[in-house]
Amino acid sequence: MRSVALILAAIAIHASAAECGPDQLNTARTITLKREGALYGAHQHTALPLAKGEVVLTFDDGPSADNTPLVLKALADQCAKATFFLIGEHIAQQPDLARRLIREGHSAGIHSNTHPHLASMTTDQQLEDLKLSRAAYKTAFGVETPAYRFPYLEETPTLLEALKRDNITVASIDMGINDWIPEDTTAILAQRLTESLDKAGRGIILMHDANGPTAQALPTLLKVLKDKGYKVVHLEWEAAQ
């Protein structure tokens, strides 16, 4: 029985790989980062070592029961891998969906526990929010988070120090599509992406898998990337010790 299961698994993997071809966007390469207190994203820090025309797909605010599955389907259809920055409370509410991200080959970090304006909180409150989000991540995945994205990209000295001490990478961005307006259409989001790409030429793209219009627009957004000749680079981190 075990040999039959292995054969079936191999067939499934081969069939999945066969579906990825020149008609898909695909994932061109993977960068594996160290588990360290580094800071990336040219919006606030050092740019990742990307060539012109290379982009990293990232999504914030999930997992969302309504929208994240649509995002995952769009990515799977194009054989593209992404990094998801998850809210701690959402991980606790949707642990199976959070784990599905990893099963499907994506990577994940945290995006605070409740998405607050951290600068308006006391030092203790900020550290407690970080503690809770890290605990939710570890409960779901069994390991410590490798990366953190600040809510609203509003960094604070308190958490920058804590993240550096605990070897958690800070992931900022290079470009976004401002995809949090409920009235946004697919055409509007595609135009914003085109403008951001034309301006930056490479880098970490911020999107939101918890946002309905983004989830609906993602097949079109990925087509924009392919049509413009962009290559997807996937971010991963070294295994936890």
Which residues are catalytically annotated?
60, 208
Pair type for strands 231-237 and 54-60: parallel
Positive/negative CA dihedral, 41, 208, 133, 140: negative
Q: 127: which residues sit within 8 A by CB, 6+ positions away? A: 158, 159, 162
183 CB contacts (<8 Å, ≥6 apart)? none
Q: Which amino acid is at 61?
A: D
Q: Is 59 exposed, middle or buried (0-12, 13-18, 19+ CB in 10 A)?
A: buried
Q: What is the CA radius of gyration of the chain?
A: 18
Q: List the structure tokens of 236.
A: 């991963």
Q: What are phi and psi of 14, to 5 degrees?
A: -65, -45
Classify 93 as helix, strand or coil. helix
Question: Contact at 8 Å (CB) between 91 and 98?
Answer: yes
Residue 162: partners with Cβ closer than 8 Å, 6 or more residues away: 127, 130
